[in-house]
Amino acid sequence: MTFPESLDAEAEARRQQSLDNQELLDTPADPLLDTLVRLTQDLFGVRTVLVSLIDCERHWFKARVGAPVAEIPRTPSFCGQAILGTEPYVIEDTHLDTSVCSAAVVIGEPFYRFYAGQPLFSAEGQALGTLCIMHTTPMHLDDRQLRQLKDMATLAEGYLKLLSLSEQTAQLRAALSREERKVMLDPLTQLWNRAGLNHFLVLEQASAQAHGTLLGVLYCDLDHFKSVNDRHGHDVGDHTLWQTARHISAAVRPQDVVTRSGGEEFVVLLQVRDAHELLQVAERIRQAVRSTPVQAEQLALDVTISIGAAVHEESEVLGNTLKRADQALYYAKANGRDRVELAAPH
């Protein structure tokens, strides 16, 4: 499959440099962008919505709904064609377009028949990627819908610019290279993994000491998760983990560090004034997971989460704080699940 146009080598180098400078690649999913793609999905009634950043060898999704993976190889693609212009690039029926009718996602799962993508630009005017919508049946967008797509893309583009200028991004840029971030990012949930937890644990404790706050730890574990995999399959289980990650990230504060330490277990690192503030955040997480069923395939699954909380104490070894939070999680499970337990003092 080929497209009739492409960027020349010099233009592509400028575009790639602009993308690299943003420090957006291989960073955790963002709750606000997650909300934006979900609203876009509802607005257009489509299967898939992506904030797709086009890296040198891959398409990496900063936000996604309706797509099971966080990245795909960079081959001739819909989004690769969309970034060549400034207006929405629309394919109403992929079967009738000879340039894309043989694409893998057209002739195989998920059998896309429709695509529309609006380029997202950096402050320098370089196309970083797209906000795109895709569906499994042909569609037509009228003028109003095209304006709506551009409006949603404007919001995504503006937020990406704010992210690239944020203090959090500057700190991330100073602390970790892109290659280091890649190995610390969980590909399923787009949260920091266990290696990321170990890395940020020390940094968060040092920051808490510098700011006169306390380091709080929340150990979160989905209740009866094994039964989800057993009854509905691992695809539904993976989607449950992905959606749980979205709920946890949305319930905490922007500066908090959310990680997936393994399996169905998530660990959150927070700077708090006291145990009461830590328990307030934990309860927000519990309520967020409990109040929103997981939508997977044709299912609506009610899931709950148990949480163990611990506040790091003066002179305590950090590993012991993690152990106390884990022990509190054990008590939450033993005492009926779907609850928060505070660890006993060290």
Mean pLDDT of the chain: 91
Do residues 255 and 167 touch, judged by C-beta distance below 8 A? no
User: Do 201 and 145 sit in the same domain of this protein?
Assistant: no
Euclidean distance between CA atoms 193 and 183, whole angstroms = 8
Region for 297 from its dihedrals, namely left if φ exceeds 0, alpha if ψ lies in -120 to 50, beta otherwise? left
Count: domains in the chain? 2
Q: Is the pLDDT of residue 320 over 50?
A: yes
What DSSP line would sit under 155-195, residue for residue?
Answer: HHHHHHHHHHHSHHHHHHHHH--HHHHHHHB-TTT-SB-HH
Q: What pLDDT, in 10s, does the model give residues 189-227?
A: 999 999 999 999 999 999 999 999 999 999 999 999 999
Examine the domain organization and report whether 19 and 148 are in the same domain.
yes
Q: Could you tell me if residue 17 is inside a domain?
A: yes
Residue 3, pLDDT > 50, answer no
Question: DSSP assignment of 61-89, as one string?
Answer: EEEEES-S-SEEE--S-HHHHHTTSSSPE
Q: Which CATH number characterizes residue 289's domain?
A: 3.30.70.270
* 36 and 146 part of one domain: yes
Nearest residue to 324 (alpha-carbon basis) of 231, 223, 219: 219
226 and 326 assigned to the same domain? yes
Q: Are residues 310 and 215 in the same domain?
A: yes
Task: Give the DSSP H or E segment for 282.
Answer: helix 275-291
pLDDT band at 50 (very low <50, low <70, confident <90, very high): very high
3 part of a folded domain? no
pLDDT score of 90: 96
Asked whether residue 200 falls in the same domain as residue 162, the answer is: no
Domain with 75 in it: what CATH number? 3.30.450.40
Let me know if residue 178 belongs to a domain: no
Q: What is the pLDDT of residue 286?
A: 97
Q: Say whether both 244 and 99 belong to one domain.
A: no
Residue 106 lies in a domain: yes
Based on the fold, state whether residues 144 and 203 are members of the same structural domain: no
Same domain, yes or no: 78 and 190: no
Q: Is residue 1 part of a domain?
A: no
| 164 and 192 share one domain | no
Residues 216 and 332 in one domain: yes
Q: β-pairing, 127-135 with 257-262?
A: unpaired
Domain presence at residue 181: no
Residue after which a domain boundary falls, among 169, 195, 221: 169
- CB of 127 within 8 A of CB of 88? no
- Among 208, 317, 327, which residue's Cα sits nearest to residue 257? 208
For β-strands 71-73 and 299-301, DSSP reports them as unpaired
- Pairing type for strands 305-311 and 214-222 reads antiparallel
Domain final residue pick, 169, 194, 215: 169
Q: Can you give the pLDDT at residue 6?
A: 63
Range of the domain at 132: 9-169
Q: Is residue 98 part of a domain?
A: yes
Write the pLDDT tens digit of every residue in 81-113: 899 999 999 999 999 988 888 888 899 888 999
On whether residue 177 sits in a domain, the answer given is no
| Mean pLDDT computed over 258-262 | 94
Q: Indicate whether 253 and 300 sit together in one domain.
A: yes
Integer-rounded Cα radius of gyration of the chain: 21
* Residue 264 annotated among the catalytic residues of the structure: yes
Catalytic entry in 264, 277, 314, 341: 264
pLDDT at 131 over 90: yes
